[in-house]
């Protein structure tokens, strides 16, 4: 059995409780497999990054294997404006959806899409992307989240965490990477020096025990875009991130990864 998010944002919980930690979020149009259900909750696995957790059964639409198979074979269309508006056929109100949402089976001529058995219409325009460089595109998307407040488990302009930022920015640029920093660091090519990095590469930071605890997107002139308190731009060198507001280092650099094939 499968489900698809027909709400703008669906929280994924660690346990079957609204008071439980939110570990991530499902965005509008994202498909997932339903692995287990109880009276009020469903344990799910997202298809694009294999992330698992509990969601409220009232917050999604069920769909079947046939739809899921077609969904996975279709080229995904993602929203890249901060906000877009969609309306379900026959409904009175609009849905406000965020950047990184999926428009399944999107028809550009009619601006319609198919979420399970329901037809939706995009009422706003998709962003016209006029950038040839993938690295420039990643930086543009990352800066779009500038000043977004930090939110543990967040993946949206309403609130985002460090690995949520790197994942959603890469996803909008057409590259799927894992959800958590500890998973993201396992891919790509290693670099030890900031001077070797290119815009769009990922820098990972950790504690004295070697655990990866933070990730950011490298920019030009030894700058990094990352979520710490809010999405911000700070200086980075061989030691780590230097927070210019606090006038001190806040994160210790462990490794730089290149996930983009140049």
Instruction: Provide the annotated active-site residues.
Output: 162, 214, 226
CB 48 within 8 A of CB 30: yes
The rounded distance, in Å, linking the Cα atoms of 144 and 8 is 18
- Which residues make Cβ contacts (< 8 Å) with residue 261, sequence separation at least 6? none
């Amino acid at each position: 059995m499968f489900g698809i998010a027909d709400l703008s944002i669906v929280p994924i919980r660690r346990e079957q409780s609204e008071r439980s930690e939110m570990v991530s979020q499902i965005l509008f149009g994202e498909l997932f497999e339903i692995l287990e259900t109880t009276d009020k909750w469903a344990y799910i696995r997202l298809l694009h990054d294999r992330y698992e957790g509990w969601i409220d059964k009232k917050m999604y639409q069920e769909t079947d294997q046939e739809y899921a198979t077609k969904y996975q074979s279709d080229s995904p269309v993602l929203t890249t404006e901060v906000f877009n508006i969609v309306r379900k056929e026959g409904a009175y109100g609009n849905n406000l959806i965020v950047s990184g949402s999926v428009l399944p089976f999107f028809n550009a001529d009619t601006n319609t899409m198919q979420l399970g058995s329901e037809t939706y219409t995009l009422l706003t325009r998709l962003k016209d992307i006029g950038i040839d460089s993938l690295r420039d595109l990643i930086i543009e998307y990352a800066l779009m989240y500038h000043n977004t407040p930090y939110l543990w488990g967040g993946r949206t302009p309403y609130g985002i965490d460090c690995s949520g930022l790197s994942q959603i920015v890469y996803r909008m640029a057409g590259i799927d990477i894992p959800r958590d920093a500890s998973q993201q660091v396992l891919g790509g090519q290693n670099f030890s020096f900031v001077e070797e990095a290119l815009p769009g590469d990922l820098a990972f930071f950790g504690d004295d025990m070697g655990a990866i605890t933070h990730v950011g997107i490298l920019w030009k002139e030894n700058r990094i875009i990352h979520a710490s308190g809010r999405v911000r731009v700070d200086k980075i060198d061989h030691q780590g991130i230097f927070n210019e507001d606090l006038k001190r280092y806040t994160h210790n650099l462990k490794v730089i990864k290149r996930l983009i094939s140049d």
